[in-house]
């Protein structure tokens, strides 16, 4: 795009961005989110480290958003990332493109991945930047790759979008180190005594275990690196829900258009779909079919759909308005608010007597309780523990706010890690009951 042409389109692009931002903010997450959203909100409020591999870029950005915008910070942050990403993957800026992008943002399969408080909206943005910039292997490409890896392991596949002209391997690795340097925030957080110190990365061993997600392999290793028809079908079902009902035809037209005009890009996009499938089936089968997967497939589908809509608009303006209007209509009629478990969390914790201790198996309840206690200060008296996490930092987080609770009995006092997690959990719960006779103890199983 020439400078003059871009200067003519820039005001329209900015207008589209502002509309998308306010729409994303208005339709964004409210209340107490499900899945890992409560953890991200707690880290935004208290500062600290997210679950493995630490997600330092997201942790720092979330904390900054809270400092600037308070309790609305994450809604603002994810609205900015979603609006920016959608603008970057669209090469046409007009009324038709605004219809198209607005409809996209309202589709549940899109909003559930870009606006939900997790790593995937940020990862999508980095892929959109790489797609828009198309850098060769130079300083910029290395920096983008480092930032992508500071968000999610799937960032490694960003290299598929890089070019090869005017490459500089030395610059690329310098940029990579610069982007990866964000990971230094993890030991800094640990050394500063962060309350949420997931992984306690103050030592080299703990740091490497955190960034390589060693804990995940220990817990889910038996379910990884296998081929499961159920996982495959759930993943393909997620892709179909993205395509249907209105993105299938534009994506097909976009693929045909790229086949004729930019076959190399089409091949790269196909590679991303295959890599996404590989990652879900072999690395993260536990989340297959949910909004926590298929983010690269979503990226490819939206790029193809944008190319298809552009082709339709260039062919006939009326046809373009009809096609983009169909996407907008589908978004409006199918839109559904993001999951909010605030009522369920209130109902669950409200009857508990003061000074209660909870051992929770459900992450939804655990992180929902975090929001209730650490973010909203509505139940500062309760103690929240997990049956799946016996790390010392987890108990330090609890005793930081409730120093009178006795959690001195550890795994070595009741058994060892060769025992099943269920038996260890039972023994630790019984020890907690004995050590805290004046505190009611509850479990969710």
Specify whether the CB–CB gap between 99 and 321 falls below 8 A.
yes
pLDDT of residue 125: 98
CA-wise closest residue to 414 among 406, 423, 405: 423
DSSP 26-47: HHS--SS-STTHHHHHHHHHH-
pLDDT for res 222: 57
98: nearest Cα among 19, 24, 27, 26: 19
| Residue of 371, 39, 59, 74 whose CA lies nearest to 188 | 59
How far, in whole angstroms, is CA 42 from its chain's centroid? 15
pLDDT in tens, 115-172: 999 999 999 999 999 999 999 999 999 999 999 999 999 999 999 999 988 889 999 9
Q: Which residue has the tokens 């590989």?
A: 278
Q: Which two tokens stand for residue 348?
A: 């669950």
Q: Where are the alpha helices (DSSP H) in 204-262?
A: 204-211, 214-220, 229-243, 248-261
The token duo for 250 is: 């534009």
Please tell me the distance from the alpha carbon of residue 110 to that of residue 114, in angstroms, as a whole number.
6
pLDDT tens for 39-67 read 999 999 999 999 889 999 999 999 999 99
- What is the number of alpha carbons within 13 Å of residue 139 lying toward its C-beta? 3
- Chain segment 334-377, per-residue pLDDT in tens: 999 999 999 999 999 999 999 999 999 999 999 999 999 999 99
Q: What is the mean pLDDT of the chain?
A: 91
Task: Say what percent of the chain tops pLDDT 70.
Answer: 96
pTM of the model as a whole: 0.93
């Amino acid at each position: 795009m020439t400078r003059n042409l871009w200067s003519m389109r820039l005001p329209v692009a900015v207008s589209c961005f502002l509309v998308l931002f306010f729409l994303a903010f208005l339709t964004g997450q409210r209340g107490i989110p499900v899945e890992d959203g409560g953890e991200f909100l707690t880290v935004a409020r208290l500062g600290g480290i997210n679950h493995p591999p630490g997600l330092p870029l997201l942790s720092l950005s979330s904390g900054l958003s809270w400092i600037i915008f308070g309790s609305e910070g994450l809604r603002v942050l994810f609205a900015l990332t979603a609006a920016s990403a959608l603008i970057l993957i669209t090469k046409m800026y007009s009324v038709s493109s605004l219809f198209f992008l607005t409809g996209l943002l309202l589709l549940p399969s899109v909003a559930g991945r870009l606006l939900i408080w997790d790593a995937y909206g940020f990862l999508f943005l980095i892929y959109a930047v790489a797609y828009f910039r198309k850098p060769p292997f130079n300083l910029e490409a290395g920096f983008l790759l480092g930032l992508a890896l500071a968000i999610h392991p799937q960032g490694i596949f960003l290299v598929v979008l890089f070019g090869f002209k005017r490459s500089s391997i030395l610059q690329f690795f310098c940029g990579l180190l610069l982007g990866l340097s964000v990971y230094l925030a993890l030991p800094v957080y640990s050394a500063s005594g962060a309350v949420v110190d997931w992984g306690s990365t103050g030592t080299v061993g703990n740091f490497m275990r955190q960034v390589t997600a060693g804990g995940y392999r220990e817990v889910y290793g038996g379910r990884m690196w296998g081929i499961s028809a159920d996982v495959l079908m759930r993943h393909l079902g997620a892709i179909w829900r993205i395509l249907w009902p209105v993105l299938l035809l534009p994506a097909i037209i976009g693929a045909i258009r790229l086949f004729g005009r930019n076959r190399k890009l089409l091949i790269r996009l196909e590679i991303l779909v295959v890599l996404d499938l590989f990652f879900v089936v072999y690395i993260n089968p536990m989340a297959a079919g949910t909004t926590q997967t298929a983010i690269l497939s979503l990226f490819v589908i939206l790029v193809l759909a944008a190319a298809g809509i552009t082709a339709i608009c260039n062919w006939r303006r009326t046809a373009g308005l009809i096609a983009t209007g169909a996407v907008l209509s589908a978004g409006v009629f199918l839109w559904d608010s993001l999951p909010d478990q605030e009522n369920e969390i209130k109902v669950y914790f409200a009857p508990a007597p003061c000074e209660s201790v909870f051992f929770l198996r459900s992450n939804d309840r655990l992180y929902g309780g975090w929001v209730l206690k650490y973010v909203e200060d509505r139940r500062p008296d309760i103690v929240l523990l997990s049956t799946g996490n016996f790390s010392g930092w987890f108990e330090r987080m609890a005793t930081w706010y409730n120093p009178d609770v006795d959690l001195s009995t550890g795994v070595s006092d009741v058994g060892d890690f060769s025992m099943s997690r269920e038996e260890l959990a039972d023994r630790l719960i019984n020890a907690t009951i004995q050590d805290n006779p004046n505190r009611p103890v509850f479990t969710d199983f």
